[in-house]
Structure 1
Amino acid sequence: MSALKPIVVYHANGGPNPYKILIALAELNLPYTKSAVADVKGAEFCKINPNGRVPAIMDPNNDDLILWESGAIVEYLVETYDKEGKLSLPGNREKWLLKQYLHFQMSGQGPYFGQAVWFYRQSEPNVQAKERYIDQV
């Protein structure tokens, strides 16, 4: 794997989702560089991710493939680079049970984390909202 070029990880300060990608890259022992995005909604970054959110990656080992959405990126990294089975499981049944948890995190737990953080950081305190989203997490 030493012949691989570093995968570029686009991230912004304060967001939890880029860490999912960095953890997967580290576990797979893949080279990467980080590119901090100052304005995720700006025109320059929206050329990379029209949704204006991080993370996104650019893989120079696959025709400069650009992907965004952390779940899609993790699946791509595992399916493309996990030849030793570090983050994947053998067998069709096990593979799908594992993916079930990835999708649970992406569509269930992740959004509640996002809401909880937003209510903790907003200027007007909202105890009921804080409790609701923390309980959901």
Structure 2
Amino acid sequence: MALTAEDRVAITDLVYRYGHLVDAGELDRLGELFTPDVTYDLTDLGHGTLTGVELIRSAALAVGDANPVGHHITNLVLTEQADGQVHARSKGIGIMADGTCGSVVYDDVIVPAGDGWRIRHRKIAARRAPLGGLLTR
């Protein structure tokens, strides 16, 4: 199945909506973004892997005031897979309450759902070195 322009818009909205919902504290709406059995890989950030929407919600609440106040998602690239899934890669800029910020890469596996698209797997990797670490290799 080839991705339509409508699919691409819907998937783009899905990925971008994450920042809006989390920043607004609308964690009860995470089911609009993720499959019920989502795998949310925070290993690179030192937090392991979470499975399921409720664990993501609970983890965000546990982090409390250490959560970013702004999740700014940019540079989205969608790649259709032969099995109908979509790989989405985007960059995220997290702004903290004290004004510091960090950069991450989101790697998502997005699948069709009955009422649109949902993220089945998300891996978040911190960007810690310029040029992808090329200068330190």
What's the TM-score, normalizing by structure 1? 0.23
Question: Comparing both chains, which one has the higher relative contact order based on Cα–Cα distances under 8 Å and sequence gaps of 6 or more?
Answer: 2
Using the size of structure 2 for normalisation, the TM-score is 0.23
**Larger strand share, 1 or 2:** 2
